[in-house]
Structure 1
Amino acid sequence: MRKVKNFNYKLDLKVAVALLFFAINFVNADNNFFKTENVKISISLNNEFVSNALSEIELITNFKFFYKNEDIDLERRVTFKAVEEPINSVLFRLFEDIDLTFKIVKERIILKKEIPVKNNKIQIQGKIADATTGAPITYANIEVFGSLIGTSSNELGEFILEVDSLPATIVFSHLNYEKKTIEISQFSTINVLLTPLVNNLNEVMLSSGKRDDYAFELAEKALSTMRKLSDKKKYGKHFIDKNLKTEMSTPNFQK
């Protein structure tokens, strides 16, 4: 069998040194990549426009700013001095007390308008219904006891109430229902039943008096007279009218 010769490849010394030098530079560059935010600068600003401040920082460093014109007031004036101060600290001072954030990515500084975070509120939600019929109660009032925080139910009896903290005392009311108070100690969805108000009216008794009897008598006389005068061929209209007035004349009442 033919033997295969083993070749020992000797790496040229110059090539090895070059590779080692390249590796060291690569590591250093990589470290600098992650430490760009630690770059220190010296800058002096005296009632300068923000736009001029950004331009000067770009001039003395390798950083470039990226932003939307509507997100930053470039004509705002700033005054401060920094000597060998980290870029992070300089940017914090430059954008102090305004709604603007920055982020350093490699050699780019990205400026962005800060969106205010809404205060954390605790939501209490549920449904209000009639305790008798189960029908939803529309436009019921829901309020936190002793405060101005409140809302009302929609056409389905549903509601959402935001409170600052728990526990909270919630009052439910409606013009046609009894008021109800509930203590809520944890976030939950609740169903509230309101009892209808009962309006008791005094019973009214109706009784016939003398004048009612008189009306009844008049009706009987009218019918009797009409029977007597039913023969229109024998009696004319004038006779009928005259007799009706006579028969149905109002008697005199004495006190």
Structure 2
Amino acid sequence: MHEYDALRAARPEWFTNTPGGIDIETSPDAVARAGGVIYQDTRRIVLCDAVTFPGGRPGTYLRTMSASPQPGAAVLPMLPDGRLVLVEHFRHATRSWHLEAPRGFGAAGLTSTDTAAKELGEEIGAHAPELLALGRVHPDTGALGDEVRLFAALITSVGALATSEGIRKALTVTFEEAEGMVRDGQITDGLTIALLYRARLHGLASPAAPLYAASKAAGRHRAVAGV
């Protein structure tokens, strides 16, 4: 109960009840019955809330939240000729290799732009002086409370890969090839699919329109500190 109350004080937005929605019950008996904070570490918090569903039925609901108040970030690396850089990353949750764009958890003291730049450096050894913000997504609204900010970045080369994190190779593909991989089921990672879709909507799918030229022509603003 103490951990649950501490979270309610620190993150009140996690416990807001909205008319017509699923209400969270916060009495000591209700929290004790549901379980409250089931697990937490430096990255994740797992909660089991006591809830009342529309219509009055009581129950419990499990959700997973990021431990950091800062959103995570995912970034689509683009080479000057318009090709994209994806990594082949082993994911423990699915016990499978996945083709993905670099991404990472948010961290205290870092903006989402900082996180995106950090992940580029750590995962593929690339540097991007500026990034284009592509908006935000919620990866799984049924179970995760996380928000992830999306970016595109113009890079000139790929350096050392984060092999210790389960990345075994990087590959470069055209935008059309990447979308074909989505269509054929070779790319199944939701954040990478969201990045490709948002990038296309921002006019970045044409090799004739590299990141900065496309963003300027579309009147977009590049990501700046504080995003």
TM-score if structure 1 supplies the norm length? 0.24
Higher relative CO (Cα under 8 Å, sequence separation at least 6) belongs to 2
TM-score if structure 2 supplies the norm length? 0.26
